[in-house]
Structure formats: C-alpha cells, structure tokens
Chains A and B, each alone.
Chain A
Amino acid sequence: MESTHRVRRRIAGAACAVALALPLTACDALTPGSTTAVSGPRSVPSSTAVPDGDVTLRLQFADAPLMVDALIAAFEKDHPGISVEPQYKTFSDYVQNLKLTMTSDTAPDIAQYAVGMTDLAADGHILDLAPYREAYGWDDAIPPVSLDQLTAGQTSEATGGRALFGVPAGLSMTGIYYNKELAEKAGIDGPPKTLAEFEDQLAAAKDAGLTPLGVGALDSGGLHLWAALLNQTMPTDDYWDWVNGTKGATIENRAGITASALVVEWGRKGYYNESANGTGQLDSTAQFTKGDSVFLINGNWAAGQLATAMGDNVGFFPMPGEDATDPTVASGFSVSYAVSSRTEHPEAAGVFLDFLTSPEAGQIISDNGFLPPNPEAVAKPEGVLADIAEGHRRAVADDGITTFPDFAAPAMLDRLRSGVQKLIADRVEPADYLDSLQDEWEEHHAE
C-alpha cells in the first residue's frame, strides 16, 4: 500500500510539475494549426453605412499613445454612437504577443500593423479592406503609394485588385534628437552634414563633460542606432533585399562590418550613457528631457512627448550620410491599423479607418510628430515637429525610407537586441554578430 501510494503520488507530482513548468495551454485539436483557420469572412463588406446603436471598438497599438488618444477623442466627437477603447502596449510586448492576440477569441477589433501581420493576413486573421478602399474613395484622400505598402503581397478576393490590410495613420522614421542648450554648451552649432562631423560633435560633447548620446538599448533603442548607421553604409537596395528575404541577400559584408564596428567604437570612446544596456527606450527619452545627454537616438513617435517636455530646446535630424551629397536614408514604417476577422463591427471599424484619412485626423497626426499620409492637407508644423517633417520630406524625396531590420525574420528582434547590447559593451566581434543575424535569416528564409 505504502509503495503504490508513493508511486501514485510521484506520478501525480510529476504530471503536476510538468503542467506547472509548461504554461502552454492546450489546444482542442490534435494536429496543430487545424483549428485556427478562420471560418468567417475574409474581407470587409463594401457598404459604408454607419451602424445604428452604440458600438465599442477595442484598439490595440504600440506607438504614439498621445496621438491615438487625440485621434480617438476627435473621432468620438464626430461619431457619438461609436466609442473606441485604446489598449496600449510597449512595442516589444506588442510584437511578441501579436500572433497570439490576433488568433485568440478576444482579439481587438483594430490592431496596429506590425511584423507578423503578413502571416496573419495569409491565414485570414485580419480582414482585407480593399472593398472599403473603393467604397470610401481612399485613393483620393491619401497617396495610393502608401496604401500599396500594405497589401501583404496578396490579391483581393473581393475586388480582384490589390488586397489592403491596413490604413496608415502616419509615417514613422528614426533619427537623432538633440538638446539645443547642451549642444551650444559643447560648442555644437547645428545638425551635422556628414557622419564624420557627427562623430566630431559626439567627441566635443564628451570633452565638455557631457554624456554625448542617449541610447535605450534594454529594448529596441540599440537596434535603431545600429540600423541608422547601417542605412548610411549599406546601399538601400541591398538592405531591402535582406529585409525582404531575397535569395542570396546577406548582411555579412563590408557595410555591415563598418556600421557594427562604429557601434563598438562609440562604446569604447564612452559616447553612450553609461547604463545604455540597462535603460529602456522610454527611460532614455525621459532622461534626455531632463538634460542627461546631448543627443538621443529614437523615432518620431517620441516627438510629441519631447515637444511637450522640452519645447523649443529640442531639435531633430536624420542620421547623416558618409558624404554630404549622400541621400538621406532612415528606417521607418507607417503606423497603420488593421481590422481583425473576429470583429463584430467591421462597419464601425471602417468608419474609424476612414476618419484616419480625413484632414482633421491628418492635423492631429502632424501635431504629434508623424508625417500625415497627405502632408498637403495640414498646417505647417513648428519646432522639432518641423525638423522631423523636413527630414522625412528629404528621405522620401531620396527614396530613402527603409523598413526596420527586425522585419527580416520573426526572431530577428531578439537577435538584434542582444547582439547590439554586446556591441555596445564590446563583447562581440562585429563579424560574429553579423554571422548570428545571417544564421537567423537563413533559417527563416530557407524554404
């Protein structure tokens, strides 16, 4: 009796421990993937009717909370019957959970378009918006080119034309912010024209006893820095090939080495905030507003907060090229919103997306540091927002908006983050770092 009791207890304990250690919940079907197929419609209806009665839309997003709040407030004022409930997540949380969120029964009605949406679109988890494109006439409201980035490479079953899986509410790009007061103290008189000049400015800031460059490398700040440098050393077409997974593309080349070695060199020279690897992007931005560093690497999504906190004391410039005549190249993507196939209110979601293309929304988008899809429709921005609009205009004119490097593969974000942390701490050879990225790339693009 004692021994069977013990055995049984042991088996129970074993199963229990396994169950505790494995927080993966059970799926219903035995073959993985067989139950996640979506049975509902794959595209939105083509009517633009505003639904009757009170509707609540849940909107999940990762960028620019201030802008989203302002957009929602304006939208709800125009459409009293529809309320929008924002659910903000930090970028890394958002991307990590995106697939899980969008395939669950509690998926938000509207979600920010991000890496991974292409797969979700292919499996019908987000709706094809092509019928709305025609019905609402979005091609007249915003330049068609910004919609054509959001086709996920698919043809629309509903219209026969290009599919559409998101509507842009603003375009993003990364670059360098600078604290004007501190820059003046260090003898820096304006945005640099070349990368070498920027390095001189970093050295000048260091000599003045200031922290030159704030980096929030605990999450995604480090990879923005690396990508910004890579944008200057690597031809844009090669970079696009690599991110898009074109056969034979590689990051293990002279351009990659130069950019990675620069990240190491700046670390050796003490240009970063001492705790870059232990500081998140939000924290590095907060420290920058307090005057902890002369420069800050971040994206225009922080501009709203920086303009509020620092007023005229902050400026912005895209990372300069190696030569003054080089095109302006910066990483960026549109902040766009997709609609879940599980939503019960596709019409209301359509009304909201259509609102995003309106001049009123464009003004809100512009006020928050994003370039509205149609810049002609809004008033000229001021201060740091004007710097960003100008930088973005130059980059667009030079065909120099590249996407973020983590779009190259789902696991790339983690590789980039931990890899750049090692570069900053001088713990890895640039070649080995690039090799780890390329391994991940080859694994994902093997088939």
Chain B
Amino acid sequence: MPSRPPVRPPGAPVRPSATRGRSPWRGYVYVLPAFLVYFAFAVLPALHTAYLSLFEWDGVTLGDWVGLGNYQEILQDSVLRRSVFNALVLVVFFSFVPIVLGLAMTGLLARYRRPGMGAYRFLFMLPQVIPLVAVGVTWRWLYGDDGLVNQTFRAVGLDGVTRAWLGDFGAALIAVGLVGTWVLSGLCMMLFLSGVQKVDPSLYEAARIDGAGPVREFVSVTLPHLRGELAVAMTVTTVAALASFDIVYVTTNGGPGEQTTVPGLLVYRLAFSEGKVGLAAALAVVLGCLILAIVYLINRLSRSES
C-alpha cells in the first residue's frame, strides 16, 4: 500500500513534523485526480438522482418536496411490480442460458487446438460489437410477419407455429429474451475460452492418462478453473438483464400490453415522456439497489465456494 512510510537509511536527517503529518495522506493525494473525475461523473450523478427521487418534479418547472412519497408509490404500482417480474424472467435468457451455452461451446472448442479458432471467436463475438439498437431493429425484422423466423417455420411445414412474435402476448417476452441470449452467449463463450487458456495443459494430460472422458475432463478440470470467469459472466449478464432498455425499447416498447415492460423502460418513460422525474429517479434508485444486491450475492457465492 502506498500509505506505508518510506524506508529510511539509518542516520538520515529526519523532519518529524513534515513526514509524520503528511505521509498517511500522500497516497490519497495521488488518487485525488482520478477520484475527482470519478466523483464528478459517477458519484455525484448517482447522489443527485437519489436527491431528485425525493421530489415531485415534471422536469421543467420548480419541484415539490415529497420525501419518500415516490417510493411509496412504487410499491403500490402494479405495472411496476410486473416490470420487475419481467426483468427477472429476462435474467434466465440474458444470464442463465448464455452461460450454459457458453460453457457448452467452451467444452467443445477448448479441448484441442483447432485451426480456424480465430474465425469462431470473431463470429461469436460479432453480436457484442453491433450496437444494441441495430440488433433490436434487425430482430424486429426477423420476428416480423414475413420475417426469417416465420419463413423458416413455414419452410419446414410448421405453419401453425408462425405468429407475430413480438406482438403475441404469450411469446413476446421469450422472443425479447432470446435476442439477449443471442447477444450475450458469445460474450460468455469468449470469457470462458480465455479462462481455459490459463489452465495448465499438463492437468488435461493427467486427466486423460487417468482415463477421463470429455465430460469428466470438463467437469473436473475446466469448470473449477472457470470460477472467476463465471462470476464475471454472471455479474455482467445479470446487470444487462435487470438494466435492459435498448433491446426492449426498439423491439416492443414494452408491449403488447405490459408483457415486456421492464424497469429501465419505465424509468425512461416516467422521466422523459410522462413528466414524473422524481418517480423515475426513485425507480432508478430501487432498480440500482436491486442490481447491487444481486451482484453482491453473486460475488459472495462465488467467493465462498473458493
């Protein structure tokens, strides 16, 4: 740690007042510039949002102080509770499925070095590179009446299955979730692949000499070494699900009904179109706290296992 006093050669002149008074703080001085930037652009806006959540404010005229009234309103709102439920369903598609898929692909790709790995990585990483708005527009076409999804079903004779996926009350949330799966699976696989490369090859050799098959090898060697990457993947994808906005906004805008309404979308709507900035800020604070709690839980679990 930089705050430890510097080692001094014996007999060197000592200026106790200067050294003793300053040195514990010197480290903080070095951190100060970064801290100021961080404070101004990350901490302050967050605090300001929390502060705004105590007002009833339309975004233009002077606000009225309402204390915790906005939080009370949030707890009573049925649309809001529905949106939190939807976000939790999205966690399955944004986090659980991509991680399972990522692990499966890692198991298939990591065992041996194959030619063309770079091409695979490029392909699976591609969804991450495309802006989410473009992803949303593309999937809106794919899910459309005459989109590729329905064309495919018709081509194999499943005409009865076709529907406007994003406009169907039963299918819309799953359809939106699968877009997230498509985007995030590649990311998970990349994370896991890079994690696997750190594993000592002799471990695999040893496992094979002991007669382990591909599955045994994956469970006993690969998986334990990916714990760190798993925690990262879970954190990133869960936050993506709970704070999701762009994909939902572009594909369904929360519809049909409230089937795909998520908290992030409501924050945006309340603040910018309905003129309820205080309520939006309160919802954002609640959403932020919910995300923090879940991320904390994930980190806690992944640590206690180690």
Question: Shortest distance in angstroms between B199's beta carbon and chain A's nearest beta carbon?
Answer: 26
**Which residues of A are found within 8 Å of B166, using beta-carbon distances?**
218, 278
Task: Provide the residues of chain B in CB contact with A49, threshold 8 Å.
Answer: none
Contact A427 B63, CB 8 Å, known A33-B57, A95-B273:
no
In contact, B45 and A120 (Cβ under 8 angstroms): no
| Nearest A residue (CB) for B303 | A6
What residue in chain B is nearest A36 (Cβ atoms)? Answer: B60
Q: Residues 260-271 of chain B: 1 if any A CB is under 8 Å from the residue's CB, otherwise 0?
A: 010000011101
Complex contacts, B253 vs chain A, CB 8 Å? 92, 218-219, 417
A429 within 8 A of B: no
Residues of chain B within 8 A of A95, CB atoms compared:
273
Q: Known contacts A15-B43, A411-B274: does B285 contact A22 (CB below 8 Å)?
A: yes
- Segment with Cβ contacts to B, from A24-32, A252-260, A342-350: A24-32
Q: How many residues of B contact A (CB 8 A)?
A: 63
- In angstroms, Cα B292 to Cα A164, docked, is 50
| Across-interface contacts of A18 in B (CB, < 8 A) | 46, 49, 285, 288, 292
B48 touches A422 (CB 8 A): no
The 6 lowest CB-CB distance pairs between A and B, nearest first, are A278-B167, A275-B164, A278-B164, A277-B167, A96-B273, A32-B63
Given A411-B273, A425-B257: A123 and B168 interface contact (C-beta under 8 Å):
no
User: What CA separation (Å) do A53 and B55 show in the bound complex?
Assistant: 46
Query: Which A residues are in CB contact (< 8 Å) with B165?
Result: 278
B277 to chain A: closest residue by CB: A32
For the complex formed, measure the closest distance between the CB of B95 and the CB atoms of chain A, giving whole angstroms: 16
A407 CB, nearest partner CB in chain B, Å = 13
Q: Given that A33-B62, A274-B164, A279-B164 are contacting pairs, would A21 and B243 also be in contact in the complex, using a CB cutoff of 8 Å?
A: yes
Residue contact A32 to B62, C-beta cutoff 8 Å: yes
Do the beta carbons of B43 and A103 come within 8 Å of each other?
Answer: no
Q: How far is the CB of A24 from chain B (nearest CB, A)?
A: 5
Contact of A17 with B44 at beta-carbon distance under 8 Å, contacts A278-B167, A417-B255 already known: no
The answer, among A17, A34, A274, A427, for a CB contact under 8 Å with B163, is A274
The answer to whether B145 and A21 have CB atoms under 8 Å apart is: no
| 6 residue pairs bridging A and B, Cβ less than 8 Å apart | A17-B292, A24-B277, A123-B60, A277-B167, A277-B168, A279-B164
Judge if B304 is at the interface, Cβ distance under 8 Å.
Answer: no
Question: How many angstroms from the CA of A75 to the CA of B209 in the assembled complex?
Answer: 83
With both beta carbons as reference points, the residue of chain B lying nearest to A125 in the complex is identified as B60
A31 to B255, CA, bound (A): 35
B35's closest neighbor in chain A, by CB?
A: A12
Task: List, in ascending order, chain A residues with CB within 8 A of B55's CB.
Answer: 32
- A428 to B261, alpha carbons, bound, how many Å? 17
- Asked if B254 and A14 make an inter-chain contact with CB atoms under 8 angstroms apart, the answer reads no
Residues 151-189 of chain B, each 1 if its beta carbon lies under 8 Å from chain A, else 0: 000000000000111111100100000000000000000
B18 within 8 A of A: no
**Contact yes or no, A414 B269, CB < 8 A:** yes
Q: With the chains together, A23 CA to B145 CA distance in Å?
A: 34
B281 within 8 A of A: yes
C-alpha gap A30/B165 in the complex (Å): 45
A154 within 8 A of B: no
Is residue B239 contacting chain A, with contact meaning CB distance below 8 A? yes
Q: Which residues from chain A contact B281 at a C-beta distance below 8 Å?
A: 22, 24
A241 to B91, CA, bound (A): 45
B144 within 8 A of A: yes
* In the complex, B61 has a CB within 8 A of chain A: yes
Residues of B within 8 A of A245 (CB): none
Docked CA distance A302–B77 (Å): 37
Cα separation A126 to B129 with both chains bound (whole Å): 40
Contact in complex: B60, A22 (CB < 8 Å): no
User: Are A414's CB and B274's CB within 8 A?
Assistant: yes
A413 surroundings in chain B (CB, below 8 A): 273
A145 at the binding interface (Cβ < 8 Å): no
Q: Does A191 contact B (CB under 8 A)?
A: no
Q: Which residue of B lies closest to A103 (CB)?
A: B60
Instruction: Tell me whether A19 and B43 are in contact in the complex, defined as CB-CB below 8 angstroms, given that A32-B277, A218-B252, A425-B257 are known contacts.
Output: yes
- A424–B164 Cα distance when bound, in Å, is 14
Bound form: Cα–Cα A36–B49 in Å: 17
- CB pair A276 B63 closer than 8 Å: no
Chain A: CB-nearest residue to B245: A23
Tell me which residues across on chain B come within 8 A of A427, comparing CB atoms: 169, 256-257
A16 within 8 A of B: yes
Over the window 275-298 of chain B, the binary record of Cβ atoms lying under 8 Å from chain A Cβ atoms (1 yes, 0 no) is 111101100110110011001100
Interface centre among A34, A92, A96, A116 (most CB of B within 10 A): A96
A428 CA / B256 CA spacing, docked (Å)? 12
Report the nearest A residue to B254, measured CB to CB. Answer: A418
Interface positions, chain A 360-410, Cβ under 8 Å from B, are: 410
Taking the nearest CB of chain A, how far is it from the CB of B269, in angstroms? 6
Q: Are A277 and B60 in contact (CB under 8 A)?
A: no
Residues of chain B with a CB closer than 8 A to A116's CB: 275
Apart from A21-B284, A33-B58, 7 more pairs, CB < 8 Å: A24-B45, A97-B273, A116-B275, A218-B166, A273-B145, A411-B276, A427-B256
